[in-house]
Amino acid sequence: MSRLILHKLIIMGVTYKRTINFNEDFTIISGEKTSGKSLILSLIDYCFGKSSKIDLNVQRELDSKCDQVFLELRIGEEVLTLNRLLKEKHTKISIYFCSFDDLDEYTPKTLEIQDAMKILMNKLNINEYKLVRHQKHSNKKEIDTVSFRDIFRYVYIHQHELGTGDFLGKKSTFKANKNPHAFKMMFNLVDADKETLNEQLVEVQNEIDETRRELFGLNSYLRDLDAVDRINMQLKSDKLQSDIEKQKQLKADVLENSVNGSNNSEENKMYIKLKDDLNKVTNKKLEYQRSKRHSQLSINSKELLIKEYENDLKEVEETLDINYNLIIPNQSVECPLCSSKVLSHLHNKVHNSENAEATLKKIKKQIKNKINLVRDLIEKENEQIEDLDKEINLYSEKQSIFNEALIEYSKKTQVPYLSHIDSINAIINRLTKKQETLKEGLRIHHKIEEKENLIVDLKAEEARLIKDIEALQVSSKEKETIFNFLDKKYKEFMKRLKYDTSNETSIHKEKMIPFYNGASVYAHESGGLLECMQLSFLGAILKSKTQGYANGHPGLLLLDSLSKYVGTLEKEDKDEESSVTSEGKINDPEVYDEFYKILIELSKDHQIILVENTPPHKYDSMYTKYTLYTGEKGLVDEENNEIKDSDRVYN
């Protein structure tokens, strides 16, 4: 069972960092309105490819402190970290094939959202599903892809969807039309045609071949760097990291002595402020330099790939020349018996395979297209390097200005401890540069590992496609078994939430949405009933995943605000006009309590993250991980800033 488990969310800026950790079973995030609770789920959604960017005009605190967000997760045994910028390049997602703590030793794979989501689909062992649809106000048809984002609607239920008619994005026709197909994908109920599957199979096999070529290029680059011995490099890097940490601690002690001693002067504060500004500029410059190195590495790899393609092209052209372009002149052959001469037309027999010639020409054209594509990519990356060089030069000028200011400032003031701090900073910088050289080699080793894992994933996808081709039609018996199980679990949950399930309560086999009393989840108007139907439906899907049916669901659930449509407190004074049960009490508090019992039960096999203002005390004390408050004690809280002065390296 492929499961997706979130480890932590990290929001970051130049001088700010905060990490939000998640339990692997049930996590509650509570707090006041506008404190940033829902923003945590929105940022997770953003990392998973949400098309619209985070509105920083609304999220002022986030805008002032942070410019990027990271999400560390696990799929099976593999740990990945997704990274997305908040203020620029909103269509890109960077994937690191490692934990957040190991980012420095890995090179990210930066992709368009659609391509990044395809990688997640592969990791979860789900094939993308393409469907044909008519263009709006036209008879023309177009191909549409049902992707990870469509499945994610069954994972993250926004507070404006839970208990409303906009469940699963119903108000968007584009999303609503894709929901049944996403449901089929989750349960492997897609009836694909053989031609489509064969096309996908060829694409996967081509990607395996290209990845192997890239591996060859990366290994060649490692040999050029004399960085083949990964274990030795890792040991040296770890030793340098230990030395850097010791120097940082020594600097922290010196700063603390300076502040606590008699020399806590305005000059001291001003000097540290200047150093802090210089640090920001230096960090930005290093970031651009790192991006430039990554681009150069990518170009080197692509140039090696072009050489391989050119060799292939040469072989194809030679084959064409020999078999189809080489003209053998007519020759007369003398008969040994009668001495008569006969013309030889041997070359005509060589040219009798028009299909083979057409195939070779097609391969030749494809290779040329690949060469042109890779050259275009190299050209774009060279343009990016030019832009990066401009930024590096700009920040070098700023760095020089700050350095000159610090030199002049030091000449005119008497600031104790500064010479000691400067000498420590010099040692830290020297160690850091040595470590960066080692990390460059380690990044390539990790990239090789990433490519090898990609081949494993592609091989698994190849096996799935071959299996799907062999068994194209989903049997009616299999579909019946799945829906019988879903109906059973859906009704069980609805009964627990105090609803009678004897009359037409099920999950529709064609529309694939929940029904109660013969009406769909989109027909009912009661927010409380809708919420119960929705949670019962989602719970049934998770239960079916545990049973081995919904393999395409990530096994994760993100919910925002359960208490909007159900009462959460017992009513002490019974009102004769209120809706009461035969026992004389309102059901809502029991239903609300049952919500939590269901979620806790589901969390034994699946990760559940719930945002709620004030969860019941008995669950709050056990599962609440964070409590946020409006204002300075919200998600962006300076007291929880993990970047301290002692962690900053000054030049």
Mean pLDDT of all residues in 292-321: 81
Question: Is the pLDDT reported for residue 574 higher than 50?
Answer: no
pLDDT of the residue at 643? 83
Long-range contacts of 394-401 (CB under 8 A, 24+ apart): 395/281, 395/282, 395/284, 395/285, 395/288, 396/285, 398/281, 399/278, 399/281, 399/282, 399/285, 399/651
Second CATH level (architecture) for the domain 265-412:
Orthogonal Bundle (1.10)
Q: Distance between CA atoms of 279 and 269, rounded to whole angstroms?
A: 15
Of all residues in the chain, the percent with pLDDT exceeding 70 is 79
pLDDT surpassing 50 at residue 154? yes
The per-residue pLDDT for range 416-443, each reduced to its tens digit, is: 556 666 677 777 777 777 777 777 777 7
Q: Is the pLDDT assigned to residue 197 strictly greater than 90?
A: no
Q: Is the pLDDT of residue 227 over 90?
A: no
Assess whether pLDDT exceeds 80 at residue 160.
yes
| The predicted structure's pLDDT at residue 571 | 52
What is the full DSSP assignment across 164-208? STTGGGTTSHHHHHHHHHHHHHHTT-----HHHHHHHHHHHHHHH
- For 1-124+613-643, CATH gives 3.40.50
Burial status of residue 635 (CB atoms within 10 A of its CB: 0-12, 13-18, 19 or more): buried
Residue 81, beta-bridge partner list: 72, 96
Domain ranges of the chain: 1-124+613-643, 126-191+475-553+556-605, 192-263+416-472, 265-412
pLDDT in tens, 343-382: 555 444 444 456 677 777 888 888 888 888 888 888 888 8
239-248, 460-469, 520-529, 614-623: least confidently modelled range: 460-469
pLDDT beyond 90 at 20: yes
pLDDT band at 268 (very low <50, low <70, confident <90, very high): low
- pLDDT of 40 reads 94
* Lowest-confidence region among 6-10, 234-238, 270-274, 424-428: 270-274
Share of the chain above pLDDT 90, in %: 27
- Looking at mean pLDDT, say which of 125-139, 475-489, 566-580 comes out highest: 475-489
**Domain 192-263+416-472 falls under CATH 2.30.30:** no
Beta strand pairing call for 26-31 and 624-628: parallel
How far is 334 from 343, CA to CA, in rounded Å?
9
- Choose the weakest-confidence range: 137-141, 242-246, 547-551: 137-141
pLDDT at position 364 = 84
Q: For residue 237, what pLDDT band results from cuts at 50, 70 and 90? A: confident
The per-residue pLDDT for 346 is: 46
Give the model's confidence band at 544: pLDDT under 50 very low, under 70 low, under 90 confident, else very high: very high
Averaged over 514-543, what is the pLDDT? 93
- Distance (Å, rounded) from C-alpha 99 to C-alpha 97? 7
SS3 of 40-69: HHHHHHHHCCCCCCCCCCCCHHHHHHCCEE
User: Do 192-263+416-472 and 265-412 fold alike per CATH?
Assistant: yes
Residue 540 confidence class, pLDDT cut points 50, 70, 90? very high
Q: Which of 463-467, 477-481, 496-500, 588-592 has the highest mean pLDDT?
A: 496-500
Each residue's pLDDT tens digit, 238-262: 888 888 888 777 777 766 666 555 4
The residue whose two tokens read 């230096």 is: 282
Our CA angle for 603, 162, 557, nearest 5°, is 25
Supply the pTM of this predicted model: 0.65
User: Residue 270: which pLDDT band, with cuts at 50, 70 and 90?
Assistant: low
User: Is the pLDDT confidence value at 566 over 90?
Assistant: no
Least confident range from 38-47, 65-74, 466-475, 526-535: namely: 466-475
pLDDT band at 460 (very low <50, low <70, confident <90, very high): confident
Task: Find the radius of gyration of the CA atoms of the chain.
Answer: 32
Half-sphere exposure of 216 (CA within 13 A, CB side): 13
Cβ–Cβ < 8 Å for 84, 68: yes
101-115, 180-194, 336-350, 591-605: the lowest-pLDDT one: 336-350
pLDDT for the residue numbered 8: 95
Residue 539: which pLDDT band, with cuts at 50, 70 and 90?
Answer: very high
Q: Is residue 196 over pLDDT 70?
A: no
